[in-house]
Structure 1
């Protein structure tokens, strides 16, 4: 009972859990209470990491839940970065060729030298770890503008370990559909994903789709979330809610929009907003630097690097 209660104040979102998934408690508003409380902590964390200073992009992100920034790097910086990333990927792909693991639906991680694969249906996500020798990539990750935006939007301090080189390969949809192509929201609390695209993303490449404004907790959204939480509680379902395009339009908070972009474009989105991966031609790919930044929703901000260093030091002391 105590363990279940504590999970209420974590990022756990599964309605298969005893208290989080209680039909009675969610009828009384537990799920929407967690959403509102997480918003309060988000405001606190944003003040911690950024004070009252707000970059010009913050108003758009507050309104829409997404910003698209073209020509993010200079031509020379971008050229050096693309060359480094492609050379790295080519070398790793040669040592660890792509393979099909037979996963159905949302697959598990399959690690390989310098990264891991994960399938969404027949669509492959290949993540490449960023190493110390990747100078141009580290320069991008530590870009002052990037850090200022991500720290503010996510309400957390900068953590380079969240970043990967990322290549997406679209598969076939007939026998093993990609669940990420269904409209959904990832979390009950605000969190961000970002893609810095190293090649043009055209309609045939399956661009990111997002419904601007649907990250906000409007009365209509909270009413919808409460209804879905009760339903999910009764069915012991997960917490990444799906929604049809018709239902999204009825909700009225924002329409699903495609975001094809040019190379050298940064996209940052609040994944509490409704989004999906666009339909694509088979075997098309997208190339980017990617990060999934999800701070603990009910805690103040803390330095992940300093925390890891402190834990390692404590571990060394106890091992003496």
Structure 2
């Protein structure tokens, strides 16, 4: 039995080394990323610094296509909130069509919250041409590409969040956190108003900038034993408290109370969370997501972003994980055909 551990190290070492140049983030799954000796020498800090520098370089090449007011707000805060992103005369019809659409759905429980997703796939786009037009808008696409740092197509879903669903465990999404050590895009187009006490999106303004005190904090956290901290932080999605924000000279998180038809686009390397809700709520949105290897220098060259392929990726990802469930798990359970909202949500 004692011989198995060295053998495993020999087999896995080339993979662990190769992952240093990728988006791999778990200090638990890769002993090089979690090595206190290597991180004391600056491994994690340098990965963070280089990833941020590469993102800034790519964004400079994408900036000219983004409306100036949107770009300036994002550069300053790490997110941008755009009210009435859909012309007000068109939004009610789009909202009604999205809420009435029925398609294959998946659900995941985290603590006392349930997330339901319907993939924006070829069937949905064929049935909802107004949604297709929205996602094809040049200004929206340019903003998505700029925040992601790549000219690639995000994954799109119709997402429903149901809070206070009866479980006793806390919702881990309510803890302030960063998704990874590098930039990625998340976006929400809210179909209903969201008040400050009904699970709003929360964000710490300016926390997306990987420089100065934030880099120093990343260095300090990399020195902790990954087996002695909370599991989500050890797996590369660090949780933060008020003391951490003070150490980074960052302000408290803002709760974004928004009206319906508001698009919020954020870089989730910044600290963010789902705000608490004082009552059970059902939040419905068009949700978009994009993350790529941060060390890639080119902007595009992603075959899966091509029309005809891009809108099929969610289905392929779900199916692949179904087949590999025994080895990688599958938190997204099939729940049959559903609408985004309603009594069965």
TM-score normalised over the length of structure 1:
0.83
Partner residue of 2:203 out of 200, 210, 213? 210
19, 22, 25: which one pairs with 1:7? 19
Contact kept in structure 2, 1:195 and 1:291, CA below 8 Å: yes
1:154 correspondence with 2:154:
no
1:120 — aligned with what?
A: 110
Q: Name the residue aligned to 2:262.
A: 265
Measure, in 1, the Cα distance between the counterparts of 2:77 and 2:263. 15
Distance 2:207 2:251 in 1: 6
Give the number of equivalent residue pairs: 286
The offset of 1:128, in angstroms, is 0.7
Structure-2 change in CA distance of 1:24 and 1:234 (3 Å) = farther
Q: Distance in 2 between matches of 1:165 and 1:301?
A: 27
Q: CA RMSD in A?
A: 2.3
Paired residue secondary structure (2:187): strand
Distance in 2 of aligned mates of 1:151 and 1:307: 12
**Contact 2:153 2:305 survives alignment (8 Å):** no
Change (3 A) 1:118 1:29: same
Q: 2:151 touches 2:300 (CA, 8 Å); kept in 1?
A: yes
Aligned 8 A contact 1:147 1:158 in 2: no
Partners of 2:157 and 2:167 lie apart in 1 by: 29
Q: Secondary structure of the residue that 1:204 maps to in structure 2? A: coil
**Distance in 1 of aligned mates of 2:108 and 2:50:** 32
Report the counterpart of residue 138 of structure 1 in structure 2: 132
Equivalent pair of 2:111/2:167 in contact (CA under 8 Å): no
Q: 2:188 aligns with which of 195, 208, 216?
A: 195
**1:28-67 alignment, distance < 5 Å:** 28-48=41-61, 50=62, 52=64, 54-56=66-68, 57-67=70-80
Which of 193, 209, 212 lines up with 1:219 in the alignment?
212
TM-score, with normalisation over the residues of structure 2? Answer: 0.77
1:105-126 Cα offsets, whole Å, 9 max, x none, are xxxxxxxxx2311122120111
Pick from 163, 166, 190: which aligns with 2:159? Answer: 166
Distance 1:139 1:293, change over 3 A: same
Asked if 1 retains the 8 angstrom alpha-carbon contact of 2:66 and 2:139, the reply is no
Q: Assess if the C-alpha contact under 8 Å between 1:68 and 1:267 holds in 2.
A: yes
Q: 1:46 to 1:288 in 2, by over 3 A?
A: same
Is the counterpart of residue 184 in structure 1 residue 197 in structure 2? no
Pair 1:85 & 2:98 matched:
yes
Deviations 1:223-274 (A, max 9, x none): 1111111115464821100111233134212321110100010101111111
* CA distance 1:292–1:261, change in 2 (3 Å): same
Q: Any gaps of 5 or more consecutive residues in structure 2? A: 1-12, 310-345
Corresponding residue of 2:302: 304
Corresponding position of 1:95: none
Paired position in structure 2 for 1:295: 292
Quote the offset at 1:71 in angstroms.
1.0
- Residues 172-227 of structure 1: CA deviation (Å, up to 9, x unaligned): 58721100101111110011110001110012321011100011123111111111
Shift of 1:46: 2.6
Contact 2:63–2:146 (Cα < 8 Å) also in 1: no
Tell me, yes or no, if the aligned pair for 2:118 and 2:158 is still in contact at 8 Å. yes
CA contact (8 A) 1:10 1:298 kept: yes
Whether the 8 Å contact between 1:183 and 1:245 is mirrored in structure 2 is no
Among 31, 34, 38, which residue is 1:18 paired with?
31
- Please give the alpha-carbon distance, in whole angstroms, between the structure 2 residues aligned to 1:204 and 1:256: 14
* Alignment map for 1:308-319 (pairs within 5 Å): none
Shift of 1:281: 3.0
